């Protein structure tokens, strides 16, 4: 989080923490909308459900790392926007039919003392259910880890230059002007087994979603 600058990611240190009790909510609103970084007025009404960016890469030790960021433009010092009514999904298609073969579900909840925890289910190659405290690297089994909390927004964009370019037709971007500087996002970071993600395939597609409990 700002300041100092931190980027979303995992470290190879496992810290044990008590997990919050997170109930399962079967009923979610099925209205579909999309936006990034406060583009849509409807999405701006619920920042905890507003996905800003998604990042994914593979590592040399057999892992696929995915970062789902939401609640963009969070000011320095503002609280993390956890919400127990939002269900976060990371979806993987490894057969090329645009239908998810893996669904990773992420929920947040609070314990009796008001402390936030995170629960992850369906992690390819990991434990069936993974849970622990936020802002903590959580052991997900078989060398995998998950993490959730506040981080500096890694997306770089010159919004002022974009608007000037659109208005004048002349490129007006500056490579040292970042609209997202000194703002935070809330990040969900998960490690998945590459072998489990791929299955019998050689490639995969990945997308994310949020659903709001009715």
pLDDT in tens, 63-98: 999 999 998 767 777 777 899 999 999 999 999 999
Alpha-carbon distance 19 to 190, whole Å? Answer: 17
Mean pLDDT of the chain: 82
Q: What is the pLDDT of residue 89?
A: 97
pLDDT mean over 41-59 = 83
Q: Phi first, then psi: give them for residue 162, nearest 5 degrees.
A: -65, -45
**Residue 16 — very low, low, confident or very high, per pLDDT cuts 50/70/90?**
very low
Does the pTM surpass 0.85? The reply is no
pLDDT recorded at residue 206: 94
Between 178 and 67, the more confident residue is 67
Burial of 37 (0-12, 13-18, 19+ CB in 10 A): buried
- Do residues 64 and 191 lie in contact, with contact meaning Cβ atoms separated by under 8 Å? yes
What pLDDT score was predicted for residue 36?
A: 60
Question: Which residue has better confidence, 33 or 105?
Answer: 105
CB 45 within 8 A of CB 178: no
Cβ proximity of 89 and 121 under 8 Å: no
Q: Is 121 a residue whose pLDDT tops 60?
A: yes
Q: Which residues of 91-118 are buried (b: 16+ CB within 10 A; e: fewer)?
A: bbbbeeeeebbbebbbbbbeeeeeebbb
Q: Does residue 184 or residue 108 have the better pLDDT?
A: 108
Name, in order, each residue with C-beta under 8 angstroms of 57's C-beta and a sequence gap of 6 or more.
64, 65
pLDDT surpasses 60 at 13: no
Mean pLDDT of 119-147: 97
pLDDT score at 95: 95
Interval 138-174: pLDDT, tens: 999 999 999 999 988 777 778 888 899 999 999 999 9
In the structure encoding, which two tokens stand for residue 85, read together?
Answer: 């009514």
Domain ranges of the chain: 41-212
Q: What's residue 20's pLDDT?
A: 38
Two structure tokens written together for 40:
């849509």
* Run of H or E residues at 164: helix 159-168
């Amino acid at each position: 989080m700002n300041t100092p600058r931190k980027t979303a990611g995992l470290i190879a240190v496992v810290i044990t923490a008590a997990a919050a009790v997170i109930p399962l909510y079967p009923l979610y609103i099925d209205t579909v909308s999309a936006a990034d970084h406060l583009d849509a007025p409807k999405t701006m009404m619920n920042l905890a459900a507003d996905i800003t960016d998604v990042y994914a890469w593979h590592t040399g030790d057999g892992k696929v790392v995915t970062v789902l960021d939401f609640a963009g433009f969070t000011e320095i010092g503002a609280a993390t926007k956890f919400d127990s009514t939002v269900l976060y999904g990371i979806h993987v298609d490894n057969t090329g039919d645009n239908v998810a073969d893996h669904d990773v579900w992420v929920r947040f909840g609070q314990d009796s003392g008001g402390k936030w925890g995170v629960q992850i289910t369906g992690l390819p190659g990991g434990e069936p259910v993974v849970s622990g405290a936020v802002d903590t690297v959580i052991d997900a089994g078989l060398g995998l880890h998950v993490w959730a909390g506040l981080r500096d927004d890694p997306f770089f964009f010159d919004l002022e230059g974009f608007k000037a370019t659109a208005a004048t037709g002349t490129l007006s971007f500056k490579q040292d002007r970042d609209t997202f500087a000194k703002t935070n996002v809330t990040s969900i970071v998960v490690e998945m087994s590459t072998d489990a993600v791929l299955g019998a395939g050689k490639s995969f597609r990945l997308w994310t979603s949020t659903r709001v409990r009715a």
